[in-house]
Amino acid sequence: MPDMGAQQLFDLWKKQVEEGTQQWLKMMGTPQGQTLDPQAFWRPFMDQGMAAWAKVMTQGTASPDLMGQWKQFLDQWIAAWGKALEQAMGTEAFGRVLGKQLEGFLDAASPAKKAAEQHIEAMLGGLGIPSRSQVTGIARQIVQLEEKLEGVEDRLEAVLQRLNEVAAALKQAPA
C-alpha cells in the first residue's frame, strides 16, 4: 500500500523533527522565565502537510493545485523553522556561544594576521614596492588634507558672508 508507506515515512520524519528540536533546545538552554513548547511551532505545518498528503492519496487524479499546496507547506515549514531558530538565537546561551566563537576566531586571527602583514611588508620592501600600510598611510594623509581644505573653505565662506553683511549694512547706513 503506497499510502501506508508514505504515512510511515511521514510519522518517522515528524518524530525526528520533534526529538531533534527538543534536544537542540535543551542544549541551547531555556531563557529565564520562558517555557518553550517545541511542538507548538511544527504542528500547523505538519497538519497542513498531512491534509495535502491525504488529499493526494484519496483524490486518485493528480491536480495542479497540489503544487500550490506543496509551496504553502514549504512556506510554513520554513517559517516554523525560522521561528524556532529565532527563539533559540534569542537566548543568552546562544549569545554566549556566539561570543565565544568570535573570541576564538579573533584569538586565532590576530597572530596570523600580524605575521602575514609583517611577512608581506618585508617582501614588498625588498622589492621596492610600497606596502599596504604605506598606501593606506598616503590615503589617510589625503583624507586629512581634504578635511583641512574643507575647514579653510568653511572659514572663507564665513568671512565672505560677514563681508556681505557689512557691505549691506554700509549701503543702508546714511552717508
C-alpha to C-alpha distance for 86 and 105, rounded to whole angstroms: 23
**Candidate residues 44, 99, 104, 130; the one interacting with another protein per rule CB under 8 A:** 99
150 near another protein (CB under 8 A): yes
Cβ at position 111, least distance to another protein in Å? 10
> Which long-range contacts link 90-97 to residues 24+ away (Cβ below 8 Å)?
90/31, 91/28, 91/29, 91/30, 91/31, 92/29, 92/31, 92/32, 93/28, 93/29, 93/31, 94/28
Does residue 46 contact residue 73 with C-beta atoms inside 8 Å? Answer: no
Residue 98: closest CA among 35, 79, 90: 90
> What is the closest distance, in whole angstroms, from the C-beta atom of residue 59 to another protein in the complex?
10
Q: Which of 22, 146, 159, 168 binds another protein (CB under 8 A)?
A: 146
In angstroms, the CA 125 to CA 130 distance is 7
What binding mask, one character per residue, do residues 44-83 give for another protein by CB under 8 A, x or -? ----------------xx-xxx-x---x--xx--xx-xx-
Count of residues making up the chain: 175
Binds another protein by CB under 8 A, chosen from 110, 118, 134, 164: 110
* Binding status of residue 89 toward another protein by CB under 8 A: yes
With contacts defined by CB under 8 A, name the span among 6-14, 35-43, 88-96, 122-130 that binds another protein: 88-96
SS (H, E, C) 25-37: HHHHCCCCCCCCC
123 lies in the site for another protein, by CB under 8 A? no
Residues forming contacts to another protein in the complex (CB under 8 A) are 60-61, 63-65, 67, 71, 74-75, 78-79, 81-82, 85-86, 89-90, 92, 95-96, 98-99, 102-103, 106, 109-110, 113, 132, 136-137, 139-140, 142-143, 146-147, 150
